[in-house]
Every structure is written in C-alpha cells, then in structure tokens.
Structure 1
C-alpha cells in the first residue's frame, strides 16, 4: 500500500501508557466483572461494552479520564494517522457531493483498556467505534493478532480494519445506526442479530467505497493489496471465528456476517465506489 508522504490526521489520541482507570459512571469495575463481560461476549455474541455498562449502572458516563499525550511518531502510528486522514478526505468529498457535512471522528490508540462513552474499551473486544463520543478505538496489538491467529498481514488489510470502523461513523452521521438500534430493541434475539449483520456488512461496503475513491485520487493500491483485505474480511467472518473457537457454526448467532458475505460486500464497495450500492438493508440476499 502506498501511503508514506501523504497527509497525516491530527484527530488521533494516544492513550498508550497513560495509566487510564476503568471507572465507569462514577464507579469501578473489578477484574472479575471484566472477565464476565468477555466470556459472555464469546458465548452469546453480546458486546462486552454493553455488559460492562450494565454492570456498572448503565450510565455510560466515563470516569477517570486523563489527558492523552501526543501520538508517537513510530511508523505504525504514522500509518494509522495517514489512513485516518485518507478516510477524512474521501468522506468529506462524498458527503459534500450529497450536500452534507462530514464530521471527522477521532481515533484513540490504547493498550489493554480505556474509558469510552460506551463503557470500558478492552483489547479483547478488538477495534470498535463508539457513537457516544464519535471515536474509533484500537489497540495496535490487534494487528499482531491478525497475523498470528488469522494469518493475515499487509498494510492494506490493516487499513481495511480502520476503514470499517470509520464506516460505522458514517452510518452514525447518516442516522442509520440510530434507526437500527431502535429496531433491535423491539426485535427478537435472532432478528436483532440479523440487523446487526446488515449493519456490519454495510460498514464493510463503506470501507470498500473509501478504498475505491482513495485509489482514484491518490493511487494507494499496489499489487496484492485487495487480496490482503479480502483475506482479512474472510478471516473475521462469524462462521470462520466460530469454527475456530468451538468447532461448529451457529448462523442465528452471527452478528457480523459470514466470511463470504463480508468479502462480497467489501468487494461491492471497492468495485462500484458508490454508497448507494451498500444498502444491505434492502438486499434480498446478503
């Protein structure tokens, strides 16, 4: 992936080594509570952040927030800042074409755990987006996990991860996430999971839309880049993760989509470059 020398975003907070507490809503969370949340997420497909928020009183308010120091200047941090800047430029242009204003998200680098408006963010959760504070959170050790556990490497695969979370920010700005959340609250567990899958697949498609326009404008793609992103999408499909973790697949519990579905919708985005092509909610077949 060609990225060096491109603009770097200033919307990055580096909380690594900052000594952040895990207080939430004025209370504190024990290690046992954190373990319960992570185990529940693995067994039932529940977001650990939701469980932590509930167990701490459900306020969702962040306590013990400290000032983040400026991000480091190592190669990986510069890469993250550059990818984020590229998403900013792309989505600003796409929103402007629709007569809308794009609001840049902030990206938080952390290690282990960090407070968020959605609860305590944990490395075990993986990268995630919190609509409450409009921030993307990522522990860069996730990239090592991608390589060691899923055998996926390459800079464009890493960029895809960021672009997917930014895709959730785009959904938030468009009001899509709020509508889906409202529908999920009135739905059965199976229906709620199905809505979550469509939301995640649309974020994959939006990541592809970003890649299409970024490459058109800045020629970022090199030979093999698209394949690495497709490998990443395939490796983190619900069916692949469940089969690896428990040896069998439970489709009704999917929350992100199968490997084939994630590949299909990312491909649709990167081939068309059109947001309108990412309407997973009206698609008869995912």
Structure 2
C-alpha cells in the first residue's frame, strides 16, 4: 500500500507515554466546578464531569520522540496518514450530498487513557467514542493483529482505522444514536443483533473509503493488499475470536459479526463504493 501524498493529519492527540494515559490534563475552570456541584446535587458522580473536563487536549499531530522505537514512530506516522486520507475521502463524499464532514480526532495512547465514554484500555482494542467524536488507538494493537490474529500488513492496519472512522460517519449521520436507543428497548439477544448490524455497516464504510481512495489515487494498492484487509476482517470476527478463546462460538452473543459477514460487507463497500449499499439494517441476510 502506497500513499500518493503521504500527508499526516493534524487531528491527532499524541498521549503515548503519559502515565496511565492520563497526562496532559487540561485546567479545570470555575464553570466546570459549578457543573460538578450541580451533578452532585442531582446524585451524579461529580468525578465524571471533572474527569471529562480534565482530559481536554488540543490535537497537535504526532509528537516526535527519538527515545521511542523507530517502528513505533513509523506506525504513528502511518496512522496519521491514513487518518488524513479518510478526511479527504469522507469530506468529498459529504460535500457531494450537501453535508459537512466534521473531522474526528485520533488519540494515540499507551496502556490506558480517559475518554468521554470512560477509561479506555489497550486490551479493549481500538474504539470510537461518539460522545467526544474521537477514535482511540494503542499502537500495540497492530502487533497483536499480526501476532495473535495472523493478519499482518499495512492495509490490514488501515482497515482497522477506517472501520473506526466508519463509526464516526455513523455518528454524524445519526445512525449510532438511533441504534443505541433501539437497543435499550429490546432483549439482550436483539440488542446484540443490532450491534452486529452497526459493526458490519462500519466494515462496509471502511470499504467505501478504500474504494474512493484508490479511485482518486490517494492510495495505491499492491498485490495482496486487499487480502490483508480481508484477513484482518476475518480474524476479528466474533466466531473466530470465540473459538480461539473457548473452542466454540455462540452466535447469539455476537456483537460484531462473523468472519464471513465482516469480509462480505467490507468487500461490498470496496467494490461498490456507495454508502447506500451499506444499509445492513435493511438487509434480509447478513
């Protein structure tokens, strides 16, 4: 996988190396303190308000540090470049439909960090928080993707980032909020099924990004790149992970979709490049 321009996005918060991921805390003003007191009055834990306010940090791009391994610095730069390409692609797609694409922020962290959705830990893998519009990534996940899941390669890594960007697109379009509301009104099994459809749509949106990025020559795919992404999609399917952990799969507990489903929907987006083709919620079969 080659980048045509290789521009790094500036929408990056580099929290790597900060103690427990909680460094770089912002100043807490009198307004925040008042909100915390109001929260306490209504029986809400005031630390929620204080923690979210304290973690405010302005994106400033990758912070070079010669003490870090060269491979880690390369991954950080690569991630910022993928983010830049998604900004260009989704910005154009939104403009074509008369909408504005609000660019998300990528937070790079080590071990653990705070988000508006709570404390994120490396063991959770990459995640997107709709409450603050940020995606969170501990770069060690890419090593796990290669070593544990058997899905190495730069396009596999790009797929992971593009999937989380897909969740951001869902958030901007109001899809995530509707699904969350619907999940609260149904059984656990039905809620899991809604989660699966949400995740598969994000896979499809990752494919839509790749389709347009290749067509506009923002990225140039090499032989085997598509297979890398499909291998990653398969490796993190619920059935594959459950079988690896416990020797068998429980479909009713799936929240992300099977390996076959994840590959299918990523390929759908990649081949068709049309957001409308990613309507997993109307699909009779996944």
Q: Contact 2:10/2:61 (CA < 8 Å) preserved in 1?
A: no
Alignment of 1:71 onto 2:71: no
Q: Contact 2:4/2:220 (CA < 8 Å) preserved in 1?
A: no
**Gap runs ≥5 in structure 1:** 27-55
Q: Contact 2:204/2:265 (CA < 8 Å) preserved in 1?
A: yes
Q: TM-score, normalised by structure 2?
A: 0.85
Distance in 1 (CA, whole Å) between partners of 2:183 and 2:229 is 29
Question: Where do residues 181-260 of structure 1 align in structure 2 (5 Å cutoff)?
Answer: 181-218=180-217, 219-260=219-260
Aligned pair count reads: 256
Deviations 1:120-167 (A, max 9, x none): 010010000000100000000000001110111000000000000000
* More off after superposition, 156-165 vs 70-79: 70-79
Say which SS state the counterpart of residue 223 (structure 1) adopts. Answer: coil
Alignment of 1:161 onto 2:151: no
Distance in 1 (CA, whole Å) between partners of 2:216 and 2:56 is 38
Q: CA deviation at 1:222?
A: 1.1
What stretches of structure 1 move > 6 A for 4+ residues in a row? none
Match of 2:9 in 1: 9
Q: TM-score, normalised by structure 1?
A: 0.85
Q: CA deviation at 1:71?
A: 1.7
Distance in 2 (CA, whole Å) between partners of 1:10 and 1:185 is 37
Distance in 1 (CA, whole Å) between partners of 2:75 and 2:132 is 24
Q: Which has the larger radius of gyration?
A: 2
Deviations 1:42-80 (A, max 9, x none): xxxxxxxxxxxxxx7894752642757752343211111
**Gap runs ≥5 in structure 2:** 29-44, 65-72
